[in-house]
Structure 1
Amino acid sequence: MKELTLFTMKGCPHCRMAREYMRQLCEEDPGYAQVPVNEIDENENAALADSYDYYYVPCYFMGDQKLHEGACTREKIRKVLDTARNA
């Protein structure tokens, strides 16, 4: 299992949905709750955010590998969590 880095912005409706999908998936499958997620607000940590190659939030990375960027669906978030859980 590997840690995910999640870049977000306050007030972003897509980020809010990504967090809600993660919450729902963790309720359905407690194994997803074991995946460590380091959520970073790109406005509060601009230097760190600038060191990653992305443009849209929410954006998920596993190490240096980008797993998802931009508007999401529940299934896309499930795929991100599955990738980290099975790594």
Structure 2
Amino acid sequence: MKKVTMFYLEGCPHCKKAFKMIDVLKEKKPEYENVQIEKIEESKNAHIAETHDYYYVPTFYVDGVKIHEGVPSLDKIEAVLKSAI
């Protein structure tokens, strides 16, 4: 399983949607259950966020490669989970 890192902001409505989409996908598709996501709150971990090249949240990296940035959709979040397997 590849390492997944997610950058988010607590008050971000798109980030909240992404979290819900992750839960829905893990519930519907058992192959995603074991995908672990390191969640990094950008404002509380600025020193980590500054080492990554992104502008919008949520942003997902899989093994250090940016897979998604910005407004989530179910298809885009599923692509992140698929790439982690």
| Aligned counterparts of 2:35 and 2:3: Cα–Cα separation in 1 | 6
Query: Helix, strand or coil for the counterpart of 1:17?
Result: helix
Question: Runs of 5+ in structure 2 lacking a partner?
Answer: none
Kindly indicate whether residue 3 of structure 2 is the aligned counterpart of residue 3 of structure 1: yes
Q: Post-superposition shift, 1:78?
A: 0.5
Kindly indicate whether residue 62 of structure 2 is the aligned counterpart of residue 40 of structure 1: no
The letter of the residue matching 2:22 is M
**TM-score normalised to structure 2 length:** 0.96
The letter of the residue matching 1:50 is E
Mapping for residues 2-81 of structure 1, pairs under 5 Å: 2-81=2-81
Question: Runs of 5+ in structure 1 lacking a partner?
Answer: none
The total of aligned residue pairs comes to 85
Q: Post-superposition shift, 1:62?
A: 1.2
**TM-score normalised to structure 1 length:** 0.94
| Aligned counterparts of 1:29 and 1:64: Cα–Cα separation in 2 | 24
| Aligned counterparts of 1:33 and 1:17: Cα–Cα separation in 2 | 18
